[in-house]
């Protein structure tokens, strides 16, 4: 099958690699423009672009696909993208974490006679967690299960019919980083299964999404990073793991803002004392117990400004404050 691929981050690149390895021909790749990143703020290509260049796949990087843009430069880019897509032969379009809205006229090109349309890999069990951050929001909410939906795209926000659904359990110690990797592999395998089935002229059963259970995964903001210690230990644990690796949960102690990387709920009886909200109650091997509004959370790894991620006990001891006086400030 000849595929047009649209995606940007590593999650998308993994699917792209799987499609390529399975023997399907990617004839054109869309990805976000190069962005400045790193300490030197140099322009960096997306993982999708890097793979495309390594495999001689043509790449387009428009800032928008809307030909109605009032910005002349963006309109030219959108016009060029539309004309290029209209002029090539392909069987289906695959969209994964692209970052741009596909206008109906772009979807229409993929649905011309003889083509299968556009398919999206979405990292949730739709209609739960439509939107930008389904992996993080699932962990933050304490969901026990998530998965991958391969969706036949329409003009709505993750509203299309599903053609394949694969679920997996969220483990108690899951972080967004670990769940991302598991879902990326599941997504890659799932989209290859769909494309292989289409190539064999098998009809894909399209299932409309139910009207019940719709939730939206809003984009993660850096302003969400600071932990509110008046919340329950369960809520705090979920947030710390959900915000690993981005934006990284934070807590202020001893005049420093520390990153909090890994956490869990300690076993009953593991902590022998209680304290005021934010108090450090003691150490658990390399970890640290912190009093929450309800219950205690155990944080295993922390990071000082400009430092590396290390075990939480060593990090707090390096501050030079007696353990009995260690206290995380409450969010204002």
* 136-169 confidence digits (pLDDT tens): 999 999 999 999 999 999 988 999 999 999 999 9
Predicted confidence at residue 192, as pLDDT, reads 98
The token duo for 225 is: 């990073």
Q: How many CA atoms are closer than 13 Å to the CA of 56, on its beta-carbon side?
A: 1
Report CA dihedral (224, 99, 117, 92) to the nearest 10 degrees.
Answer: -120
Predicted confidence at residue 272, as pLDDT, reads 77
**d(C-alpha 231, C-alpha 89), whole Å:** 55
Cβ distance 94 to 163 under 8 Å?
no
Predicted confidence at residue 287, as pLDDT, reads 93
Which homologous superfamily does the CATH classification assign to the domain defined by 2-217? Formyl transferase, N-terminal domain (3.40.50.170)
* 229-264 per-position pLDDT tens digit: 999 999 999 999 999 999 999 999 988 999 999 999
Predicted confidence at residue 213, as pLDDT, reads 95
Of 130, 102, 83, the C-alpha closest to 7 is 102
Domain boundaries, the chain: 2-217, 222-325
Cβ distance 61 to 49 under 8 Å?
yes
CA torsion sign for 76, 73, 218, 36 is positive
The token duo for 189 is: 């395998």
102 is in an annotated binding site: no
126 is in an annotated binding site: yes
Phi and psi of 266, rounded to 5°? Answer: -65, 155
Predicted confidence at residue 204, as pLDDT, reads 85
Place of tokens 């089935």: 197
Q: What is the DSSP string of 238-287?
A: HHHHHTTTTT-EEEEETTEEEEEEEEEPPPTTS-----STTBEEEEETTE
Domains 2-217 and 222-325 share a fold: no
107 is in an annotated binding site: no
Phi and psi of 74, rounded to 5°? Answer: -65, -35
Listed as ranges, residues in the chain with pLDDT below 50 are: none
CB count, 10 Å around CB of 115?
Answer: 16
127 is in an annotated binding site: yes
Helix or strand (DSSP H, E) at 94: strand 92-96
CATH architecture for residues 222-325: Roll (3.10)
284 CA to centre of own chain: 31
Cβ distance 164 to 149 under 8 Å?
yes
Integer-rounded Cα Rg, in Å, for the chain is 23
């Amino acid at each position: 099958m000849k595929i047009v691929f649209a995606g940007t981050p590593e999650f998308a690149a993994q699917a792209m690699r799987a499609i390529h390895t399975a023997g399907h021909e990617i004839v054109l790749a869309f990805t976000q423009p190069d962005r400045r990143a790193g300490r030197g703020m140099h322009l960096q290509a997306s993982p999708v672009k890097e793979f495309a260049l390594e495999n001689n796949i043509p790449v387009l990087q428009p800032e928008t696909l809307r030909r109605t843009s009032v910005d002349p430069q963006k309109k030219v880019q959108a016009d060029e993208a539309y004309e290029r897509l209209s002029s090539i032969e392909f069987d289906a379009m695959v969209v994964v974490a692209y970052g741009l809205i596909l206008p109906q006229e772009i979807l229409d090109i993929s649905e011309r006679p003889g083509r299968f349309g556009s398919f999206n890999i979405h990292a949730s069990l739709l209609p739960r967690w439509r939107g930008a951050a389904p992996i993080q929001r699932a962990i933050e909410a304490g969901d026990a299960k998530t998965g991958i939906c391969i969706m036949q795209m329409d003009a709505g926000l993750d509203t299309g019919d599903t053609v394949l659904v694969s679920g997996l359990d969220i483990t108690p110690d899951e972080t967004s980083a670990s769940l991302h990797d598991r879902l990326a592999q599941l997504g890659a395998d799932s989209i290859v299964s769909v494309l292989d089935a289409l190539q064999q002229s098998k009809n894909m059963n399209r299932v409309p999404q139910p009207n019940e259970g719709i939730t939206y995964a809003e984009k993660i903001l850096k302003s969400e990073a600071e932990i509110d210690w008046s919340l329950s230990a369960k809520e705090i644990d979920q947030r710390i793991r959900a915000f690993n690796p981005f934006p990284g949960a934070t807590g202020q102690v001893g005049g420093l803002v520390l990153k909090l990387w890994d956490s869990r709920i300690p076993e009953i009886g593991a902590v022998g004392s209680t304290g005021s909200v934010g108090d450090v109650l003691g150490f658990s091997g390399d970890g640290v117990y912190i009093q929450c509004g309800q219950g205690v959370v155990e944080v295993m790894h922390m990071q000082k400004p400009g430092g590396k991620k290390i075990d939480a006990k060593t990090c707090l001891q390096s501050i030079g404050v007696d353990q009995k006086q260690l206290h995380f400030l409450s969010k204002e």
